[in-house]
Structure 1
C-alpha cells in the first residue's frame, strides 16, 4: 500500500519522501494557522457567530487542502482568502448593507461559475495565456509581499505618516524574539536542516512563553456551533440582478489570486513542464472551486490557494502529501481550535520573511534589457506588495504587457486570450472601484 501511494504521488520522480512531505505539511499549517482566528474575527463583524465561522474555516480548509493534494497532487493548501473575507465583511455586508446570508449565496454562485469555467476549459486557457516571462515576476512580487507581511507582523517595520513605512522598535520583546527566530531559521537552512522552518517557529514560540510574551486566552468554542451558519446561505437573494456585481468581484479576485499563487508555488517547487505549463490545471481549479462551494455552504467567504504553501515547499514539500497533511491538521483543528492560538505571529513571521527571500531567485530569468518584458515584470513585482494584492499586481503586469504588444505592433491573433484576459483585468479594476 505504501509503495502504491509513493508511486501515485511520484515520490521518486520529485525526489522526496514521507518524512520530508510530513514536515512540509506541518510547516505549511503552522504558517497559515492564523486564519483559524483571523477569519472568524473579520466575519464576526457581519453578525456571524464567531464559533460557527471558526468551525467552518477549519472544515473548508481541511476539505480543500486534502482534495487538492489527493486529486491534483500539488503541495497547495487552501483556506478562506484574506482579501476576500475583508471585501465580504466591510464592502458587501457593512457598506452595501447586504445580509451575510445573501453574501454567502454570492460566494456559492461564484464557486459554481468557477466549476463551469473549469469544465469548459476556460480557466485553463486564461491561465495558459499568461506569458511565461511574467511567471518569475509574479513569484518575485509574491516573495516581496509575504516578506513584507512577515516584517510587519514581527514589528521590524512599522507604519509612518511621513514615510509610509519605517524601522520598527527593535528593542520590543516580540520584535527581538522574531529576530532570534529569523537568525535561527537562517542558520538551520545553511546547515541544510529540512525541518528548519518548523523548528524555528516552535523554538521561537517556546522562547516567547519563557519570556512571558505569549498571551493566550481561548474563546468559548463548540463544534456543534457550525449549525448556526451551515446552510444558512440565501442563493435566491444572491441571484437578484443587484448582486451580480458582488458575484463577479468574488469570481475575478479569486481567479487572479489563484493564478498568481499557483504560478509562484509551482515555479518554486519546479513542478512546471519545460514549455512553462502547469500540469493538471483542471484538477487544481476543480479543487479550488469545490472548496469555495463547501465554504459557502458551511458559512465562510471564498476559499483560495494560500501563498504560505511556499513555506512547505521551502521545507522540501513537492507532492500532494504536503497539502493532505496540512488538511488533516485543519481537520484536527476542528476539535482543538482554541489551543492553536498559542502560536504567536512573531514566531511565524521569520518563516514568511525567509520564504519571501527564497522566491526572489527566479527574477534573474527575466530579460531586463527587453522593455516589453522588463516594464510589465517591474510593475508586477512592485505592485503586488505595494497594493497588498496578488491580483492587483498581476493585473498591472499583464495589462501593461498586452498594451505594449498592441501599441508597438507586436499583437498577434494567436494571443487573443491574452487580450481578453487584459480586458477582464480592466473590468475587474472598474468593478472594484465601484464596489470600494
Structure 2
C-alpha cells in the first residue's frame, strides 16, 4: 500500500464514533468495542446484586440501592467513556460499601443518610486534590508495599463478611470466631455457590460470579433452603435512596464530631489508591501507557472517578470507582471509551430487574464476596517479606483491617509503623514530611477513640 494513500482516504471513511473515541487508531473497531463492553459488563454485573445486599445491612432500602447501583454505574461509565476515552468501567466499589455498612453505620452509629454525605464529600475532595495536583504528592509518600497490603487487607475484610453472611464463620464467646453449622441451609448453599464460581473461573467462563449467584438463588428457592416473600416495587421504592442525603448535613456533621472526618478520609484515601492501581493495571494491559510509564489522560480519568462518586452519593450508593474487571474487556480487544459506554448502557438494560435484588439470599451473594476477596490477594506478591521494614508495617495493615472490621485501623497501624521505622532510622526528609503528619494524625485518632 502506498504510504500516501492512507492519509488521503482516512478522513473520508472516519465515522463520528471513531472521531470521538479513536478506536481505529488504537487497533480496534466498533464490533470489537461492543464485544469488549459486553464482556466487561458480564464479569462485573454481580455488583447489581451484591452492592444492595451489603448496603441493605446498613438499613438502606435494597430496591433503592439496586436502582442507584445501575444508574450510578451507567452515568459513571458514560463519564469515563466520553471524558477520558478509556476502556474502563465504573460501579460502586467492593470494600468501601462493607466499610460503610459495618463500620460507619453499625459501629459508629451514623445514619446512612449522613454516611452518604461523607461519600459525597470524599468525591468532592478527590476532585479538588486532582485539580490542584496534590494527589501526586500524597501518592509519593505512601510506600508501595503499604498500598499492596491495604488492598489485600480489604480483600480479607470482604471475604470475612462473605463467610459471616453465609454462616460459615460465626461468633464465639471463647474464641471470638468459630466454624458454623456446616449442614445448615446457609452454609450448604454458599459452599455450592463457591464451588460453581471456582469451577467456572478455572474453565475461564465469563461472568462466573454472576452465573453462580443466579444458580445458587434458583436452587435455594426451588428447594426451600432460601424461602422468599413475593415483593412488588413501585417508583417510590426504586427512588427511595435518591437525594436522601440529610438536608441538615452541616449540622449533622458537626454534631457527630471528629469521627466524621475519619470517615471522609478513609473513603478518600482508599478510593485514591485503589483507583490508581486499577487504572495502571488496565491501561497497561490495553497498551495505553507511554514508554516513560505515564498514562495519557490520567487526570481526566481521576476527574471521572471523583464526579462518579459524587453522583453515586446523590443517587444513594457508596463510592463509585474503576473496576479491575475492565481488564476482561481489554483482553477482548477494547481499547477506547466506547467499551465503557457500551458497559454503561448494559447497566441501563438491567435497570428494570435491579429492584428484585433483595430476592437473592445472602447465602448466594456470600460466595461472590469470598471470591472477590481471594482475587484481591494478588498484591501481596509485590511485598518483599524478607525485609522487616516492609514486612512489619504491611503485615499490621493487612491483618488489622479484617480483625478490627475497619479499613481505617489498618491504614493507621500500617502508616504509623512505617513512620516509626523511618524515624528510628533518622530518615527525615522534606519529601516524607507528609508521612509523619499522617502518622501523628493517626496517633491523635487513637487517643480520640480512647477518650470517647
State TM-score, norm by structure 1. Answer: 0.77
Once the two structures are TM-superposed, the CA of residue 405 in structure 1 deviates from its matched residue by 0.7
Cα–Cα, structure 1 residues 108 and 207, in superposed 2: closer, same or farther, change >3 Å? closer
Pair 1:160-2:172 in alignment: yes
Pair 1:123-2:135 in alignment: yes
Equivalent position of 1:136 in the other structure: 148
The equivalent position to 2:367 in structure 1, one of 350, 358, 362, is: 350
Equivalent position of 2:383 in the other structure: 366
Contact 2:171 2:177 in 1 (8 A): yes
Contact 2:63 2:358 in 1 (8 A): no
Query: Aligned runs of 1:56-205 on 2, under 5 Å?
Result: 56=68, 58-68=70-80, 70-72=82-84, 73=86, 74-78=88-92, 81-84=97-100, 89=105, 108-109=120-121, 111-205=123-217
SS at match of 2:303: helix
For 2:340 and 2:276, the matched residues in 1 are separated by 16
Contact 2:72 2:320 in 1 (8 A): no
Query: Aligned runs of 1:227-266 on 2, under 5 Å?
Result: 230=243, 233-234=246-247, 237-238=250-251, 245=258, 248-259=261-272, 261-262=274-275, 265=278
Once the two structures are TM-superposed, the CA of residue 294 in structure 1 deviates from its matched residue by 3.1
Once the two structures are TM-superposed, the CA of residue 404 in structure 1 deviates from its matched residue by 0.8
Pair 1:378-2:378 in alignment: no
Cα–Cα, structure 1 residues 182 and 107, in superposed 2: closer, same or farther, change >3 Å? closer
Cα–Cα, structure 1 residues 58 and 197, in superposed 2: closer, same or farther, change >3 Å? closer
Contact 1:182 1:350 in 2 (8 A): yes
User: What CA RMSD, in Å, does the superposition of the two structures yield over aligned residues?
Assistant: 4.2
Structure 1: runs of 5 or more not aligned: none
SS at match of 1:36: helix
For 2:185 and 2:253, the matched residues in 1 are separated by 52
SS at match of 1:417: helix
For 1:342 and 1:246, the matched residues in 2 are separated by 35
Pair 1:393-2:410 in alignment: yes
Contact 2:75 2:308 in 1 (8 A): yes
Cα–Cα, structure 1 residues 168 and 189, in superposed 2: closer, same or farther, change >3 Å? same
Equivalent position of 2:229 in the other structure: 217
- Bigger mean CA deviation after superposition, 213-222 or 83-92: 83-92
The equivalent position to 1:23 in structure 2, one of 27, 39, 50, is: 39
Contact 2:38 2:342 in 1 (8 A): yes
Task: Give per-residue Cα distances to partners, 1:155-182, cap 9 Å, x unaligned.
Answer: 2222211111111221122322221222
Task: Give per-residue Cα distances to partners, 1:344-363, cap 9 Å, x unaligned.
Answer: 33223223323322332332
Once the two structures are TM-superposed, the CA of residue 279 in structure 1 deviates from its matched residue by 7.0
Say which one has the larger Rg: 2
Task: Give per-residue Cα distances to partners, 1:265-291, cap 9 Å, x unaligned.
Answer: 457758597998777554454334323
Once the two structures are TM-superposed, the CA of residue 401 in structure 1 deviates from its matched residue by 0.9
- Bigger mean CA deviation after superposition, 193-202 or 1-10: 1-10
The equivalent position to 2:425 in structure 1, one of 396, 408, 425, is: 408
Cα–Cα, structure 1 residues 267 and 288, in superposed 2: closer, same or farther, change >3 Å? closer
Contact 2:103 2:406 in 1 (8 A): no
For 1:202 and 1:51, the matched residues in 2 are separated by 18
State TM-score, norm by structure 2. Answer: 0.74
> How many residues get paired?
420
Contact 1:39 1:82 in 2 (8 A): yes
Contact 2:57 2:101 in 1 (8 A): no
Structure 2: runs of 5 or more not aligned: 1-14
Cα–Cα, structure 1 residues 286 and 263, in superposed 2: closer, same or farther, change >3 Å? closer
For 1:261 and 1:146, the matched residues in 2 are separated by 15
SS at match of 1:165: strand
Cα–Cα, structure 1 residues 234 and 339, in superposed 2: closer, same or farther, change >3 Å? closer
For 2:360 and 2:38, the matched residues in 1 are separated by 19
Contact 2:168 2:182 in 1 (8 A): yes
Cα–Cα, structure 1 residues 77 and 413, in superposed 2: closer, same or farther, change >3 Å? same
SS at match of 2:58: helix
SS at match of 1:158: strand
